[in-house]
Amino acid sequence: MEQFYSFPLKMHVGGPDTPIVKEGQRIKRGECIAEPKGLGAKIHSSVSGNVVKITDSAIVIKPDDKQSEEYVKIKKCDSIADTVYEAGVVGAGGAGFPTHIKLKTKLSNGYIIANCVECEPVLHHNIGRIEKKPEEIIKGIRYAMSSTGAKKAYIAIKSKHLEAIKVLKNCLKNDNSIQIKELPDMYPMGEERAIIHAIFDRWLEPTQLPADADCVVLNAETLFNITMAVEYGKPVIDKDITVIGKLKSGIEPNVFFQVPVGTSIKSLIEKCGGIDGEYGELIIGGPYTGTSQDIDTAIVTKTSGGAIVTIPFPEYKGPIGLLVCACGANEARLRDVASKMNSQVVGVTKCKNVEEIKGANKCKTPGHCPGQAQAIMYLKKQGAKRVLISNCSDCSNTVMCCAPKMGLPVYHHTDHVFRTVNYPLTRRLPMEHES
Ligand code: SF4
């Protein structure tokens, strides 16, 4: 067993939870250990053991030597939304929005959208989950339809996932209320407003929510967790995760299903043979939106999708300009990458599709480029000799149409990830006849 399991008090949108246990208390797997004060989600222990420490940000549990798969079931509730609240279900795709709130939306003429896009390249656990247990995802969609009153649902999935589409179709048989919508393999195809645009040919404003289009969007693993809560009384104590990168086991993805929340990422990397020599960084999440974390302290949370160990960064000691996207790395992350490349930042600008709403960058039309020549010209004027961008597939394509012509070589903040695993870099989109 691991020495300690750590449960952050904030694994969701909202404020940190309040612990309802005390130091020294014995805990069973599945027991609730913290509750939200307002917006938030309950937190349950994924192990049996003793609470050894409670801080402002986490509850630390020393696990018993022997663990069981059994867990304390959540209390029975009258509604699906209340059941999901008791189970502490949050958006497992990374956002962490409390799911019970989405399930209280009334959608008499609306739609449930199952987000099975697995938008971030190199992550494989969502598609793996669908291929392994498609019926649990479909049941989750039906529970969500029942809770919201939606009469119809769509499953949004990239057309390249042939096996997952096949097993979903087999499960759906003659159920015409749930339809599969195949999407192209571009970033950020899984962004909620991009999915709604792909299905209904309608752009929501950056300030609008899917509910404004009569939709509730739920990630594949979130739907699985809804089914687990409703049918088995299981709280969210385990998480699917992809571990990939510069590992001794090779560059193929390692998909771990149902890893106890609180597990150290280091222990998962060790299960893959450990890191293969010198590395650049550990990214938790996907290559586009993940965060760089310390390998010694990173843990599995309710929202961790991936653990990526990268090759070292390239070095460029000259002046660099940053072009920020709303759906990829933000300015802070681009500055972090630039500093790891030993570059000197001389200018920063945003894609002109970015709108700042309540302190966060939002894109007007995710994945549809508004043109980048102006931004690149601005960075050149600031003295940049190269540019580092975090744009979507379409906008990176546009940058490649103008930056090299202006004499500016281009880096994308995902380059070191894709080089690690031999994926194509985010640059020019293939022409139709090449794809
Ligand atoms: S259009 Fe601009 S802001 Fe929107 S996803 Fe593409 S690069 Fe990002």
Mean pLDDT by 10 residues, the chain (435 residues): 90 97 98 97 98 97 96 97 98 95 95 97 97 97 98 98 98 94 96 97 96 97 98 98 98 98 97 98 97 97 97 98 97 98 98 93 96 98 98 97 97 98 94 55
Ligand 1 centroid to Cα of residue 150, in Å, is 31
Structure confidence at residue 108 (pLDDT): 84
Tokens linked to 39: 């917006």
Residue 384 has what pLDDT? 98
Predicted pLDDT at 358: 87
Tell me how far apart the alpha carbons of residues 42 and 308 are, in angstroms, rounded to a whole number.
Answer: 28
- The residue whose CA is least distant from atom 7 of ligand 1 is 391
- Lining ligand 1 with CB less than 6 A are 188, 325-327, 351, 353-354, 363, 366-370, 391-392, 394-395
Q: Residue 432: its pLDDT value, please?
A: 57
The protein residue with its alpha carbon nearest to ligand 1, atom 1, reads: 369
Task: Ligand 1, residue 191: give the atom nearest the CA.
Answer: 5
Q: Quick one: pLDDT at residue 52?
A: 98
- Please report the sign of the dihedral spanned by the C-alpha atoms of residue 73, residue 74, residue 78, residue 79: negative
Half-sphere exposure of 250 (CA within 13 A, CB side): 3
Q: Which tokens hold the place of 293? A: 């974390």
Contact 147, 79 (CB under 8 A): yes
ω into 188 cis (within 30 of 0): yes
pLDDT at 434 (0 to 100):
54
Q: What CA–CA distance (Å, rounded) separates 271 from 82?
A: 37
Cα 285 to ligand 1 centre (Å): 19
Residue bearing the CA closest to ligand 1, atom 8 = 325
| Six-digit token string for 270 | 């060790």
Give residue 204's pLDDT. 97
Q: Distance between CA 228 and CA 230 in Å, rounded?
A: 6
Distance 6 CA to ligand 1 centre (A): 36
DSSP-assigned states of every residue in 144-196: HHHHHT-SEEEEEEETT-HHHHHHHHHHHTT-TTEEEEEE-S-TTTTSHHHHH
Ligand 1 centre from 364 Cα, in Å? 8
- Full-model pTM: 0.96
| Pair of tokens at residue 354 | 């970015």
Question: Are 314 and 415 within 8 A, CB to CB?
Answer: yes
Whole-number Å distance, alpha carbon 369 to ligand 1 midpoint, is 6
